[in-house]
Amino acid sequence: MADIAIGIHGGCGTLAKDLLSEKDWAETRQHLADSLRAGWTIVKKGGRSVEAVEAAIVVMENSPHFNAGHGAALTENADHELDASIMDGATLGAGAICAVRTIRNPIKAARAVMEKSDLLLITGQPADDFARRVGLDIVPNSYFTTQRRVDALASLKAKAERQEIAMASEAERHGTVGAVALDAKGNLAAGTSTGGFNNKPVGRVGDSPIIGAGTYAANGSCAVSCTGMGEIFIRRVAAYDVSARMRYAGKGLREAADAVIAAVGSHKIGAGLVSVDAGGKVYAPFNTLGMARGWIEADGKVYVATHQDVHEMGAA
């Protein structure tokens, strides 16, 4: 039996500590811990890593604190277009949806594409229709909106008007959630879900639903979910690059992941990822002020963090 493990991220667009109340930070940490436990419970019982990844992401999609599902970023039209993908490292099966507007939990739709269709990526209204057909929860687009995103959009639009967009913080701009897991059979999986970035043009799709860019998993090497300006992650084929460096250059997970964050970061963007290797080691590097993240490894302890300091949240 392999060691089991789960790792998550809640995006590298973390706010400076003083911009949120301690109550909100505590709730963010609690939701990270809830997400980890939701996934861990599944792999602990012998369930599949794909199921664990989905369960962990659903918790973060339902939380207002992350840019995915409820609490997702707003487009330039002040509504939401959501992207998600999932990959099974055992089979290299994958599913994704992009620019969807009414699916309560986009990660469930990504998994349904993988398991209930012959396709890999479905876009826009047909993806919303597919989700409805397979029985997923459908919500009005306004379900995803929170006051924090409305304020961030107003602030970004004001900065854009004053031509000060370069001064917008990572947190005002974007975020994403992701999960990786290793189950007792040694199967790896990864998933990612996002609202993209605030004030994004309608129709823009980033790396999160693109297999190899925002999400990748292959048994024997690693599972990876990325966060940061998707255009660069697609150009760098970032998630796959971590796995390729391990496979072809014989690197360990840390070295491979650090090299990819450096490569992506060389484009002067904030970047982060969460990854797990075939031995159950989780690694979540980032080059920003902070990145919401968490992990449970073989010792069964729950660790979460938003900035540099790591909090132990008890046994899984």
N- to C-terminal Cα separation, the chain: 19
**Is the Cβ–Cβ distance between 174 and 199 less than 8 Å?**
no
Is residue 207 within the footprint of ligand ASP (CB under 6 A)? yes
Q: Give 102 or 227: the residue with its C-beta nearer to ligand ASP.
A: 227
Q: What's the CA gap between 150 and 53, in Å, rounded?
A: 29
147-150 long-range contacts, CB within 8 A, separation 24+: 148/64, 148/71, 149/71, 149/72, 149/73, 149/74, 149/195, 149/198, 150/74, 150/78
CB of 175 to ligand ASP, least distance (A): 5
Phi and psi torsions of 63, nearest 5°: -85, 140
Q: Which of 176, 192, 215, 288 is catalytic?
A: 176
CB of 162 to ligand ASP, least distance (A): 23
Strands of the sheet containing 271-277, edge to edge, are: 215-218, 222-228, 271-277, 282-283
CB-based burial of residue 76 (10 Å sphere; 0-12 exposed, 13-18 middle, 19+ buried)?
middle
- Taking alpha carbons only, the member of 12, 52, 37 closest to residue 184 is 52
Kindly indicate which of the ranges 58-66, 146-154, 224-232, 245-253 contains the residues binding ligand ASP, using the contact rule CB under 6 A.
224-232
Kindly indicate which of the ranges 110-118, 194-202, 251-259, 275-283 contains the residues binding ligand ASP, using the contact rule CB under 6 A.
194-202
Kindly indicate which of the ranges 120-128, 153-161, 201-209, 216-224 contains the residues binding ligand ASP, using the contact rule CB under 6 A.
201-209
Q: What's the CA gap between 96 and 205, in Å, rounded?
A: 12
Q: What's the CA gap between 213 and 97, in Å, rounded?
A: 14
Which one of residues 69, 71, 89, 196 is an interface residue with ligand ASP (CB under 6 A)? 196
Which one of residues 40, 66, 144, 197 is an interface residue with ligand ASP (CB under 6 A)? 197
Q: What's the CA gap between 3 and 28, in Å, rounded?
A: 27
DSSP 134: T
Which one of residues 28, 63, 227, 306 is an interface residue with ligand ASP (CB under 6 A)? 227
For 168, 187, 225, the CA distances from 176, given in Å and listed in that order, are: 17, 24, 10
Is residue 13 within the footprint of ligand ASP (CB under 6 A)? yes
Site string for ligand ASP, 160-179 (x = CB under 6 A): --------------xxx---
Is residue 7 within the footprint of ligand ASP (CB under 6 A)? no
CB of 228 to ligand ASP, least distance (A): 5
Is residue 69 within the footprint of ligand ASP (CB under 6 A)? no
Residue identified by tokens 């697609």 is 234
Is residue 144 within the footprint of ligand ASP (CB under 6 A)? no
How many residues form the binding site for ligand ASP (CB under 6 A)?
16
Is residue 11 within the footprint of ligand ASP (CB under 6 A)? yes
Is residue 264 within the footprint of ligand ASP (CB under 6 A)? no
Q: What token pair was written down for 133?
A: 């057909």
Kindly indicate which of the ranges 24-32, 74-82, 226-234, 261-269 contains the residues binding ligand ASP, using the contact rule CB under 6 A.
226-234
For this structure, is 176 an active site residue? yes
- In 10 A of CB 162, how many CB atoms? 9
Kindly indicate which of the ranges 42-50, 56-64, 160-168, 221-229 contains the residues binding ligand ASP, using the contact rule CB under 6 A.
221-229
CB of 75 to ligand ASP, least distance (A): 12
Residue identified by tokens 């490894």 is 297
CB of 48 to ligand ASP, least distance (A): 25
Residues recognised as catalytic:
176
Binding region for ligand ASP (CB under 6 A) = 11, 13, 174-176, 194, 196-197, 206-208, 214, 227-230
